[in-house]
Amino acid sequence: GCGDQSSGGGAGGTRDQIRAVGSSTVYPFATAIAEMFVQGNPGMKSPIIESTGTGGGMKLFCAGVGAQYPDIENASRRIKKSEFEDCQKNGVKDIIEIQVGVDGLAFAEAKNGPGLKLTPKIVYEALAANPYGKGPNKAETWKDVDPSLPATPISVFGPPSTSGTRDSLAELILTKGCETDPAMKALKEKSEDEFKATCTRVREDGKYVDSGENDNLIVQKLGANPNALGVFGYSFLEENKDTLKDVTINGVEATYETVSTGKYPGARALYIYVKKAHMTAIPGLQAFLNTFASNWNPDGALTKRGMVAAPDDVRKASAETVKSLAVLDGSQLK
């Protein structure tokens, strides 16, 4: 025989459980959906949500079609072209991309902190390895960066370079700060690579501390160190309002409204990717997506758990995708 077509992985040839892998940022939202899915569909087994990181998840997700491969990838960034191609190569031809929401990026300090008021420009000048390409960053205190700020030493706990949150920090804050300099804008035209290096590279002399993926730990460390600044997911700020306070960016406070409307500059899209081939084979997959769709509204259950709802048009488009199961077109990816 040509082997057993129905075997491989799991108990038996198919799974009666949905499996999702991927980002630890999407993980809490996916688990919440999983719980609601079971409650709304009695008899269905609880989906299994793994927290592997977006990259590791993509690798698993794109490994193939079949019961031993996951159905859903949770991503805190868009799928990369190389990953998409890997998927194609392994027979994962039809991928459905759904943006489920937005993750707020929050700046915070201890309740008794100095009360910094920041702008992307200040953040860039304080954290860049090589501000505006003019040599290594020598700023020791916030005052060195901007005279209006107190002379407390710069000390920022933030996401490590492996994290998707770090990408947002680079894209949403550092690049914006960098672009305030016209020379940099010009550089962008000239050399994308050089621009990127100058504008998003973070100093490595201990002023910016890579802090792993454990945001609770940053929260605790901020509590112990009033001079430090933390950069992490908005939901952690909201949950820890009793020990932390937000740091305004461009004078805007980080609140649910400002983040969801994009007035607060830190926000990035969260996605899930689904294999179309699994839609018919894995029981409950469609219902799972429907559960997602019915909870990602601004007053939905996900926002209660700290997720920021996507803008209306995005939500509408995503809801449409859930219905139509429209397949991702790889050509627009980077």
Partner 1 sequence: MTATRTPTDWKSDAMRKRIARRYAAERRFKLAGLFAVLLSAAFLAFLLFTMLGNGLRGFTRTEIAVKIDFPASPLLLDPNAITDQSLANANLPMVTGETVKKALGADAEEWVSSTAWTVLRDRIKADPKILSRTETIALPASTAIDLAAKSNASPEAEAAVDRLNKAGLLSTGINWNFLSASDGTDPTQVGIWGAFKGSLLTMLVTLALSFPIGVATALYLEEYARKNWLTDIIEVSINNLAAVPSIIFGLLGLSIFLNFLHLPRSAALVGGMTLALMTMPVIVIAGRNAIKSVPPSIRDAALGIGASPVQVVFHHVLPLALPGILTGTIIGMARALGETAPLLMIGMRAFIATPPGGITDPATVLPVQIFLWSDEVSKGFVEKTSAAIIVLLVFLLAMNGLAIYLRNKFEKRW
Partner 2 sequence: MTGPAILLLLAGLGAIAWVSARARALRLQTAARASGRRDAVHSLPGYHGWYVALWTLIPAAIFLAVWANVAPGLITQDVLSSPAAQSLPTDDFSRSAILGEARAIATGKQAGAFNPLSQGLVDPYKAATGKYGMAGAALALVLAFAGGAYAFTRVRPDFRARTRVERLVMAMLLIASLLAIITTLGIVASLLWESFRFFSMVNPIDFLFGTKWSPQSAAMGYGNEDAFGAVPLFWGTIFIGAIIAMIVAIPLGLMSAIYLTQYAQPRVRKWMKPILEVLAGVPTVVYGYFAALTIAPALRDFAVAIGIHSASSESALAAGLVMGVMIIPFVSSMADDSIAAVPQSMRDGSLAMGATTSETIRKVLIPAALPGVVGGVLLAVSRAIGETMIVVMAAGLSANLTLNPFASVTTVTTQIVQLLTGDQEFDSAKTLAAFALGLVLFIVTLLLNIVALRVVKKYREAYE
Which residues sit at the interface with partner 1, rule CB under 8 A?
A: 7-11, 17, 19, 21, 24, 27-28, 30-32, 34-35, 38-43, 45-52, 68, 213-216, 233, 235-236, 239-242, 301, 304-306
Identify whether the C-beta of residue 176 lies closer than 8 Å to the C-beta of residue 169: no
133 lines the binding site for partner 2 (CB under 8 A): no
CB of 72 to partner 1, least distance (A): 12
Distance CA 215, CA 219 (A): 6
In this structure, what are the phi and psi dihedrals at residue 313, rounded to the nearest 5 degrees?
-65, -40
CB of 328 to partner 1, least distance (A): 25
83 binds, among partner 2, partner 1, none (CB under 5 to 8 A by kind): partner 2
The region of 113-121, 131-139, 272-280, 296-304 touching partner 2 under the rule CB under 8 A is: 272-280
Q: Which of 146, 213, 239, 253 is the binder for partner 2 (CB under 8 A)?
A: 213
Distance CA 43, CA 280 (A): 18
Total site size for partner 2, rule CB under 8 A: 67
Identify whether the C-beta of residue 320 lies closer than 8 Å to the C-beta of residue 312: no
The region of 11-19, 105-113, 141-149, 176-184 touching partner 2 under the rule CB under 8 A is: 11-19
Angle at 332 between CA 328 and CA 334, to 5 degrees: 110
248 lines the binding site for partner 2 (CB under 8 A): no
Task: Select 9 or 226, whichever has its Cβ closest to partner 1.
Answer: 9
306 binds, among partner 1, partner 2, none (CB under 5 to 8 A by kind): partner 1
Q: Which of 80, 117, 188, 263 is the binder for partner 2 (CB under 8 A)?
A: 80
The three-state secondary structure class of 110 is strand
211 binds, among partner 2, partner 1, none (CB under 5 to 8 A by kind): partner 2
Distance CA 332, CA 309 (A): 24
Q: Report CA torsion sign: 303, 305, 308, 311.
A: negative
Q: Which residues contact 274 (CB under 8 A, 6 or more apart)?
A: 71, 72, 73, 95, 96, 98, 285, 289
Task: Select 31 or 260, whichever has its Cβ closest to partner 1.
Answer: 31
- Dig out the tokens for 285 from the structure: 């997959």
Burial class of residue 60 (count of CB atoms within 10 Å of its CB; 0-12, 13-18, 19+): middle
Three-state secondary structure of 247-300: CEECCECCCHHHHHCCCCCCEEEEEEEEEHHHHCCCCCHHHHHHHHHHHCCCCC
* Residue 56: closest CA among 36, 39, 76: 76
Helices (H), 90-168: 120-127, 142-145, 164-168
CB of 310 to partner 2, least distance (A): 19
46 binds, among partner 1, partner 2, none (CB under 5 to 8 A by kind): partner 1
The region of 175-183, 201-209, 289-297, 306-314 touching partner 2 under the rule CB under 8 A is: 201-209
Task: Select 29 or 315, whichever has its Cβ closest to partner 2.
Answer: 29
334 lines the binding site for partner 2 (CB under 8 A): no
287 lines the binding site for partner 2 (CB under 8 A): no
Q: Which of 20, 65, 87, 127 is the binder for partner 2 (CB under 8 A)?
A: 65
Q: Which of 131, 278, 293, 328 is the binder for partner 2 (CB under 8 A)?
A: 278
In this structure, what are the phi and psi dihedrals at residue 259, rounded to the nearest 5 degrees?
-70, -45
Identify whether the C-beta of residue 289 lies closer than 8 Å to the C-beta of residue 98: yes
Where along the sequence are the contacts to partner 2 (CB under 8 A)?
Answer: 1-8, 11-14, 16, 23-24, 52-56, 58-59, 65-67, 75-77, 80, 82-83, 86, 155, 160-164, 166-167, 170, 193, 196-197, 200-202, 204, 206, 209-214, 217, 220-221, 224-225, 228, 277-278, 280-283
